[in-house]
């Protein structure tokens, strides 16, 4: 009998995915484990590291969905990227929630040429998609992302085209601007974007997450503004957005100038992330639940909130108030307001209200 099929009937498979004929990956911690003719190595790993922790522990979230491995399975695309994308797997794990999974697990989700282009295409589509009201971004496999694909970097940036210095410089500038656009597209997307980070989040990964609205991570996550280590000043958003995310300018400077790793606990205490979960399954369950909470509310209110929060980040309080007044002089005329207020009076969740598409 074919061994893999036999093993798949065991309940322990709830917590693992097959990555090769002799290797499985744990849904909780992404560790890859070899197995032979039975599931004993998987059972040993699960019992030693995860069985007792399912109910949560001090200082970190366990995720409130009881079926978090099932949620994780629904949100991890073992089938690979979804065409036309080659680096992203896009799905709808819950009504009005879009999941964008960076999908180059064998290369630790390193950001290659296609990724930079596809992020713009994907977020342009999401921005226009009236059936989407919240987005979750995550990474497939062992780690969130290893940052820019160093092989591509060597080709695209270090060997630019052009007949003279002006033309070479012009082309480099164009490339950097295109790369910046990949994450600005996230920020410009009117739907709130949550990012779920596990394992390494290096270089371009930090650029990406600072453009997102809500950052959540696992206990094993670490963050590194790695650019100075590879001889460049970070140029696709970290130096502009991180100071607005973290209150301490000194900490931002330290991270960017030394390229030291920052681990989950410090990421939480500094304000880079708002919640830390024990493992990836809990993280994905927590992210999805939060996205569903957001998606269940009036899209007029939610998108207006994102747009005004971003506006006020870059303007004075007075300018922000003026922008808000001009914004709401039309948005207060929405039917969503009366529907939501009525639900609130009746002590019903806004999630019980049917809002029109936006
Ligand atoms: C215009 C400029 C715009 C943007 C600039 C952004 C700047 C940056 O992003 S700077 C950061 C660059 N990234 C790095 O320096 C990270 C390098 N990678 C690592 O440190 C590690 O891979 C890791 C993320 C800590 C994960 O370690 P581990 O789990 O042990 O995996 P590995 O065995 O190291 O790698 C597996 C596989 O992935 C390939 N890979 C990893 N990182 C990259 C990368 N950044 N680019 C291309 N390929 C990468 C690695 O080569 C392995 O491939 P194999 O084919 O299996 O050998």
In this structure, are 154 and 285 located in the same domain?
yes
Please say whether the beta carbons of 91 and 77 come within 8 A: yes
d(CA 301, CA 354): 14
Select from 106, 107, 108, 204 the residue to mutate for testing ligand 1; criterion: most ligand atoms less than 8 Å from CB: 108
Q: What is the mean pLDDT of residues 24-51?
A: 76
In this structure, are 243 and 133 located in the same domain?
yes
Please say whether the beta carbons of 63 and 81 come within 8 A: no
Residue 63 lies in a domain: no
Residue 227 catalytic? yes
Residue that is last in its domain, among 279, 295, 311 = 295
Quote the distance between the C-alpha of residue 142 and its chain's center.
14
Residue 148 lies in a domain: yes
Residue 121 catalytic? no
Residue 357 lies in a domain: no
In this structure, are 265 and 124 located in the same domain?
yes
Select from 102, 107, 146 the residue to mutate for testing ligand 1; criterion: most ligand atoms less than 8 Å from CB: 146
In this structure, are 306 and 271 located in the same domain?
no
Encoded tokens for 311: 């506006």
In this structure, are 25 and 134 located in the same domain?
no
Residue 235 catalytic? yes
Tens of pLDDT along 4-13? 333 444 667 6
CATH classification of the domain holding 334: 1.10.12.10
Residue 148 catalytic? yes
d(CA 45, CA 47): 6
In this structure, are 149 and 241 located in the same domain?
yes
Q: Is the CB of 236 under 6 A from ligand 1?
A: yes
Residue 58 lies in a domain: no
Helices (H) and strands (E) in the chain, counts: 14, 12
Residue 207 catalytic? yes
In this structure, are 178 and 310 located in the same domain?
no
Quote the distance between the C-alpha of residue 329 and its chain's center.
33
Please say whether the beta carbons of 243 and 216 come within 8 A: no
24 class by beta-carbon count within 10 Å (0-12 exposed, 13-18 middle, 19+ buried): buried
In this structure, are 129 and 218 located in the same domain?
yes
Residue 271 lies in a domain: yes
Query: pTM value?
Result: 0.86
Q: Which string of DSSP letters, residue by residue, matches 131-181?
A: T--EEEEEE-TT-SB--B-HHHHHHHTTS---SSHHHHHHHHHHHHHHHHH
- Which range marks the domain in which residue 308 is found? 299-352
Q: Which string of DSSP letters, residue by residue, matches 55-84?
A: G-BTTBB--S-TTHHHHHHHHS-TT-PPTT
Instruction: Output the residue whose Cα is nearest ligand 1's atom 11.
Output: 203
Tens of pLDDT along 44-88? 888 887 775 544 433 456 555 545 666 666 676 667 999 999 999
In this structure, are 304 and 289 located in the same domain?
no
List the single range of 30-34, 113-117, 127-131, 161-165 with lowest mean pLDDT.
30-34
In this structure, are 36 and 76 located in the same domain?
no
Q: What is the mean pLDDT of residues 144-165?
A: 89
ipTM for the whole complex: 0.99
Q: Which string of DSSP letters, residue by residue, matches 172-215?
A: HHHHHHHHHHHHHHHHH-SS-EEEEE-SEEETHHHHHHHTSSEE
Residue 229 lies in a domain: yes
List the single range of 195-209, 227-241, 337-351 with lowest mean pLDDT.
337-351
Greatest CA separation for the chain = 73
Distance from the alpha carbon of residue 110 to the mean position of ligand 1, in angstroms: 6
Distance from the alpha carbon of residue 257 to the mean position of ligand 1, in angstroms: 20
Q: Is the CB of 150 under 6 A from ligand 1?
A: yes
Residue 216 lies in a domain: yes
Look at 17 and 190; give whichever has higher pLDDT.
190
Q: Is the CB of 146 under 6 A from ligand 1?
A: yes
Distance from the alpha carbon of residue 161 to the mean position of ligand 1, in angstroms: 25
Q: What is the mean pLDDT of residues 210-215?
A: 98
In this structure, are 304 and 172 located in the same domain?
no
Backbone angles phi, psi at 78, to 5 degrees: -65, -15
What is the bridge-based pairing of β-strands 134-139 and 88-94?
A: unpaired
Q: Is the CB of 110 under 6 A from ligand 1?
A: yes
Distance from the alpha carbon of residue 342 to the mean position of ligand 1, in angstroms: 52
In this structure, are 145 and 267 located in the same domain?
yes
Residue 61 lies in a domain: no
Per-residue model confidence (pLDDT) at position 52: 59
Distance from the alpha carbon of residue 199 to the mean position of ligand 1, in angstroms: 13
List the single range of 51-60, 135-144, 168-177 with lowest mean pLDDT.
51-60
Would you call 34 helix, strand, or coil by DSSP?
A: strand
Mean pLDDT for the chain overall: 89
Enumerate residues 6+ apart whose C-beta is below 8 A from 279. Answer: 28, 29, 50, 53, 218, 219, 220
Q: Count up the domains in the chain and report the number.
A: 3
């Amino acid at each position: 009998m074919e061994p893999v099929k036999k093993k798949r009937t065991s309940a322990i498979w709830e917590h693992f995915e097959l990555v090769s004929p002799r290797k499985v990956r744990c849904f909780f911690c992404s560790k890859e484990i070899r197995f032979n003719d039975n599931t004993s190595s998987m059972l040993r790993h699960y019992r030693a590291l995860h069985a007792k922790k399912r109910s949560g522990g001090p200082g970190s979230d366990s995720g409130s969905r009881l079926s978090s491995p099932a949620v994780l399975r629904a949100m991890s695309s073992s089938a690979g990227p979804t065409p036309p994308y080659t680096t992203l797997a896009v799905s709808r794990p819950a009504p009005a929630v879009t999941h964008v999974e960076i999908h180059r697990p064998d290369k630790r989700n390193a950001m290659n040429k296609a990724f930079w282009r596809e992020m713009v295409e994907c977020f342009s589509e999401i921005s226009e998609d009236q059936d989407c009201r919240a987005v979750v971004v995550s990474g497939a496999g062992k780690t969130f992302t290893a940052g820019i694909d160093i092989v591509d970097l060597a080709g695209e940036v270090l060997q630019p085209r052009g007949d003279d210095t002006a033309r070479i410089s012009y082309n480099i500038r164009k490339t950097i601007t295109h790369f910046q656009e990949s994450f600005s597209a996230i920020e410009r997307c009117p739907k709130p974007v949550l990012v779920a980070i596990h394992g390494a989040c290096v270089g371009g990964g930090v650029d990406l997450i600072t453009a997102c609205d809500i950052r959540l991570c696992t206990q094993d996550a670490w963050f590194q503004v790695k650019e100075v280590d590879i001889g460049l000043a970070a140029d696709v958003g970290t130096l502009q957005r991180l100071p607005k995310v973290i209150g301490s300018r000194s900490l931002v400077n330290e991270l960017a100038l030394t390229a030291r790793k920052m681990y989950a606990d410090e990421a939480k205490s500094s304000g880079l992330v708002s919640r830390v979960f024990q493992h990836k399954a809990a993280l994905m369950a927590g992210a999805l639940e939060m996205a569903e909470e957001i998606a269940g509310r009036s899209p007029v209110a939610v998108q207006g909130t994102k747009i005004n929060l971003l506006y006020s980040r870059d303007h004075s309080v007075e300018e922000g108030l003026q922008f808000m007044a001009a914004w709401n002089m039309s948005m207060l005329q929405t039917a969503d307001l009366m529907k939501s207020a009525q639900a609130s009076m009746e002590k019903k969740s806004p999630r019980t209200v049917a809002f029109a598409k936006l």
